Structure 1
Amino acid sequence: MTDVATRPSSARRFASLAKRALQAELWVYSSIGRAIARRPAIEPGGTGIGYHRPVLTVLIVFIVLSAIEIPILDLIVHPWPAVRIGVLILGIWGLTWMLGLLCAMLQRPHTVGPTGIRIRNGLEIDVAISWSAIASVEISKRVDEPKSPRVSDSAEYAERMQDETNILIELERPTPIRLPGLAPRGGVHEVTRVRLWADDPRAFLDAARPFLLEG
């Protein structure tokens, strides 16, 4: 059981949530900007591997529905200008947020490059692991129980997509990673293995192999 003294206070939790909300808002617009400029977040000499395929259709459906909803709601509240403006602002903000999330998934892929592997997911997750900490990379598919924690009691970090992972990274030693939010779910965790989902696990392995051989 977590010691009461180590639990974050209500003020700390609120401050953390507010900071994450602000950062997510900024990442939404920066991701849209990257998409417009066609500049994915991939380091020089690196390879980007997507992870969005399992949820792409759902995201597109939500975006289309959000876009259709805006004029429909505008017609409904047309007689009340104050309500109409508020609904319009919320509708445009929601649509922008959904577009930003899609752009983040497309423009911030997992990367395999000279400095190591970066594991990403949407707006917040960006976990970097250097090659010096990596022992091996292999294709290993697994389906976990829904709502399983990212970091297990066995010091395994899993960045799933639809509860699935298909890449296993074994680490040379316990390695600290930082997840968004406060402990116990967020913050710094020491892990000995990492699992993640890649749309093309073979391409992920092929991109990692030259760097592993160099090591």
Structure 2
Amino acid sequence: MRAVGRLARHEARLYVSLGLWLTRRTQGTAGGRAFGYARGLGATLLGLAFVCVVETVGVSVLLRDMPIAHDVLLVLDVYTVLFVVGLYAACVVRPHVLTPDAVRVRYGAHVDLRIPLSAIGAVRRETRMTHPPAEDALDLAVGSQTSLTLELTEPVTHVTPLGRRRDVTVVRLHADDPGGLVRALMRR
């Protein structure tokens, strides 16, 4: 039952993100410098939303003589379109944030990992397209690509959307400006 509650909170964050995106605001960036990562997601997710809209129109035409099925699928299709646009909006309004004492590594409404700067042993710009699974690594790829690797001197606990905890010592992430993020981290 806790898992259902956690998923509901994540879904609610998507819709809050949609509102923030429409008003061109960000979340959780006060007191820090934001580094976006959603540039590579825009075309894919908004293209998927367009396909969902086309599918909605097609299903509406096919089911015009079955009003109950038409109405049920229309509600589900509108929900799907809002969900997909909310996924993109969450990535735009929740960028990575560098504060004086930590870096918040985020991925939409699903990941918000605070890493103390004192726990970062090495940072490097490293473009990777493949990410073999590793128990102690967290890979936050955008378009199957990461552009930055953080090696930690001590484990940081990552909590998944369903509440599973695991300690990570390597974090790979994507940033629209990986060089700028590396320089900012090196200065701190």
Distance 1:79 1:179 in 2: 44
1:91 aligned residue: 77
* 8 A contact 1:47–1:207 mirrored in 2: no
Shift of 1:103: 0.4
Distance 1:209 1:99 in 2: 35
Q: Offset of 1:33 from its aligned partner?
A: 1.3
Indicate whether 1:79 and 2:65 are aligned: yes
**TM-score, L = length of structure 1:** 0.77
- 1:92, CA displacement in angstroms? 0.8
For 2:157 and 2:51, the matched residues in 1 are separated by 41
- Output the aligned Cα RMSD: 2.0
Are 1:205 and 2:182 an aligned pair?
yes
Structure 1 residues not aligned, in runs of 5+: 1-14
Measured in 1, the distance between the counterparts of 2:155 and 2:15 equals 35
* Alignment match, 2:32: 46
SS at match of 1:137: strand
Tell whether 2:46 aligns with 1:60: yes
Distance across 2 between alignment mates of 1:163 and 1:204: 20
Shift of 1:111: 1.5
Structure 1 residue 191, shift from structure 2 partner: 2.5
Q: Which moved more, 1:113-122 or 1:90-99?
A: 113-122
Residues 144-200 of structure 1: per-residue CA shift (max 9 Å, x gap): 25xx43xx24x2322222333221212232333323325xxxx22222222211121
Percent identical pairs in the alignment equals 27
Larger radius of gyration: 1
1:109 to 52, 75, 95: 95
Moved over 6 A (4+): none
Of 130, 146, 152, which residue of structure 2 is paired with 1:165?
146
